[in-house]
Amino acid sequence: MIGNWLKTTILMAGILALFGAVGGALGGTQGMVVALAIGGAMNFFAYWFSDKMVLRMYRAQEVDETTAPQLYDMVRELAGRAGLPMPRVYLIDEAQPNAFATGRNPQNAAVAATTGILRLLSPRELRGVMAHELAHVKHRDILISTLSATIAGAIATLAQFGLFFGGNNREGGNPLLAILVMLFAPIAAMLIQFAISRTREFGADRGGAEISGDPHALADALVKIDHYARGITLEAAEAHPATAQMMIVNPLSGGGLKGLFSTHPATEERVARLRALA
């Protein structure tokens, strides 16, 4: 837990630094001060509301034991096995099979699954996926992933805004530096996610296997999800690529820069590690 809080602090400090760099490139000292103030406000807002923002991006609908009894009961049983409070459960009406967890702590967590993953997987395989997402909650990965998803998207927007309007630096700064900052700030934000996200999937796979007691179920699910997700577009993920690292399997088509910053380990390696656990 201490490690994750340290990572969160480093992430938020990195966000402030990136905002300051972009603001300085665009408007000198005054621009840096304004950007740092905006970055601080963004950190505060993201800490408290980023989970709601991500769920809204995916048009997720909350369900309960009446509207989605099988899924809800499955999550409740697994949460009990993991020693976790019951999270909120959401459905996303998308054909691509995928799932993610979000929230700032286990007491305010949510798990979301697409309708596509419910159609594709057997109950045993779906149980493995939900156990994986609850492992993210138990390991307190969800705050870091949700913060990085929402704030990295904001940084990319800020930099693109500055690039579009030319990066006017009234204090006579280097215009080449301004252009470089505006071009590379989105990449730097994605690299923060890359550094934080990639190895966590192995930990969540192991934790999910322990919670469910069935490593093969998650391994089988990953093989299916990876195969079918490649051919089905998830529009919300394409529109908000910074959120891709939250998913159990990379939801992006991989076109352009997106393919350079995959935040997921190779599915084959994940499956091999799960088989070895069994």
Catalytic residue among 125, 133, 235, 238: 133
Residue type present at position 146: T
DSSP characters for 242-264?
A: GGGGGBSS--S---GGGGGG--S
Residue 206 · residue 133 · CB < 8 Å: no
Residues 6+ apart with CB under 8 A from 185: 18, 21, 22, 155, 156, 158, 159
Specify the DSSP class assigned to residue 173.
-
Euclidean distance between CA atoms 250 and 81, whole angstroms: 27
Counting beta carbons within 10 angstroms of the beta carbon of residue 180, is it exposed (0 to 12), middle (13 to 18) or buried (19 or more)?
Answer: middle
Specify the DSSP class assigned to residue 68.
S
Euclidean distance between CA atoms 31 and 19, whole angstroms: 10
Residue 16 · residue 24 · CB < 8 Å: no
Tell me, yes or no, if 133 is annotated catalytic. Answer: yes
Q: Which residues are part of the catalytic machinery? A: 133
